[in-house]
Structure 1
């Protein structure tokens, strides 16, 4: 079969290329302490966007780190059985939003509560409070990259928003906090891994061709000059055209590299990878997958890239029904 990356046998042993910051664990431990000190102040507002017979739908607002008000759609079964419900958290692709209410009704029909996040600064309703030095022209991977304080990296805040959403939903009276899963494709796949890493009570995580993994490998494969990772190529061409600060830049990006958060995951993980993916290359995805020590599996699509994967939604649905 044709190859755009390493052979499959090598993918299962690949350990990543991007440098890991020496204080990575301390960085995220401090970030979680900041989250602990942030009162989420959740607010549920009944939505008029849709009027399903068997579900209640809400606009959910909560506070993330830095004081930003973050938005998510929230649905719960209207006629809930005795006891608490399982819940799924949904995360969207890069630059998008949490989507519409109606596609989520399959889960509420099975007795699930559903929360779908709008990532701050992207195509939804969440607040982006800014406040960093350097370029904000093209992309959020580089947002805060030149700032002297690595805590200003925007994806640090977005990763923490996923954990805050999990905490909020787990605190709802109708939700069983021991039966919560996370899911999403591309950026949503990365946020699924980050959420499971930063909120260890997440029980199942379905990550579809995750983004935000092994940045240096993406650059090495010449994929940092188009599509999702274009901002990396543009950053080097504009701010470090001779790559004199290459190691420093990739090390800074290591703080928001999902492969280094992966060892924190306790959830059962189901990952999906297309071996022809030239947007989020398979090796970058496997750099994260191979560092997960909890129960895991990966579904391989040899002829598919970063596009619709047949049966993925159904397999994920059945996977989450096991919560």
Structure 2
């Protein structure tokens, strides 16, 4: 195995993270899910301009925690066969073109592709936050009440999307899979953890895990460079370092990983300086479900040959 910049490969296989887990972590997420249940979903499904002979394409809107209106592209086969795929996109991006989802619809799968609120798609982000919010998503809410961490809302958006899709006509709630790259990989794992009925999770170089390790590597790569920028501006002497990383621990995927029951595949690049491999293995090594990893020793945070085909083949088994 080639050497990588992060840590020896054998150490990666046993590394379980360095970011602290808040003492009330389980209570935090129990309260979060209860908050979601108390927020009316106000689902609206509107036909899209883009249509095909074999797929009904719609704009799906729902209300998430904090009152945000959240959007997803929804594609339904004319004759649904039961399975559904949830898609989550990368940081600052959007749900992508309709046509990229059609291969799944051709299998008879329903597809729902989330627009993360406040990023490149149609979802809105109207939740007020106190303290640091300049040019950052990752740390938005870290100086506020922990219940107002942005990624708490985003994790709950994946739960609501999964619930809505599982309740659609023609969808079997026991045959739902999730997938995504980078931020989408982290959201895939969060969704699988918070929606125990998820059958398959396919995450590619997941973001949103082991924040302290990502900061310690000091790679100055977006988006984990936002952590250093926060300290430079808000806590230059690091008097609140432990507090900050503990608070981020509420939305650290590695601490949710043990909840996942889905069959899970994580694709990891050993030269990834955006989402370092140790941070990804921190989550992977905490999985207690059926799991496997796919390794790209010579690749970074980039297109990985064959990965889309592998995920398609995997989700075709739903």
Given the two structures, how large is their TM-score scaled by the length of structure 2? Answer: 0.98
The answer to whether 1:304 aligns with 2:305 is: no
2:189 alignment partner in structure 1: 193
Alpha-carbon offset, residue 135 of structure 1: 2.1
The answer to whether 1:248 aligns with 2:240 is: no
Alpha-carbon offset, residue 51 of structure 1: 2.5
Give distance in 1, aligned partners of 2:216 and 2:279. Answer: 11
Give distance in 1, aligned partners of 2:175 and 2:151. Answer: 26
Alpha-carbon offset, residue 289 of structure 1: 0.5
Alpha-carbon offset, residue 174 of structure 1: 1.5
The answer to whether 1:282 aligns with 2:283 is: no
What count of residue pairs does the alignment treat as equivalent?
Answer: 317
Structure 1: tracts of 5 or more residues without a match: none
Q: Is this contact kept in 1: 2:77–2:110, CA < 8 A?
A: yes
1:178 alignment partner in structure 2: 174
Alpha-carbon offset, residue 230 of structure 1: 1.9
The answer to whether 1:150 aligns with 2:150 is: no
Give distance in 1, aligned partners of 2:253 and 2:26. Answer: 13
Within the candidate set 95, 109, 116, 2:92 is matched to 95
Give distance in 2, aligned partners of 1:153 and 1:285. Answer: 21
Structure 2: tracts of 5 or more residues without a match: none
Deviating runs (4+, > 3 A) in structure 1? none
Q: Is this contact kept in 1: 2:221–2:273, CA < 8 A?
A: no
Give distance in 2, aligned partners of 1:113 and 1:26. Answer: 33
1:125 alignment partner in structure 2: 122
Alpha-carbon offset, residue 94 of structure 1: 0.4
Give distance in 1, aligned partners of 2:155 and 2:207. Answer: 13
How big is each residue's C-alpha offset from its partner over 1:133-174, in whole Å with a ceiling of 9 and x where there is no partner? 012211111111111x10010000000000000000001012
Within the candidate set 262, 266, 274, 2:261 is matched to 266
1:59 alignment partner in structure 2: 59
Map residues 203-218 of structure 1 onto 2, 5 A cutoff: 203-218=199-214
The answer to whether 1:109 aligns with 2:110 is: no
Given the two structures, how large is their TM-score scaled by the length of structure 1? Answer: 0.96
How big is each residue's C-alpha offset from its partner over 1:85-129, in whole Å with a ceiling of 9 and x where there is no partner? 200000000001101100100000111100000001111111111
1:229 alignment partner in structure 2: 224
Give distance in 1, aligned partners of 2:127 and 2:200. Answer: 32
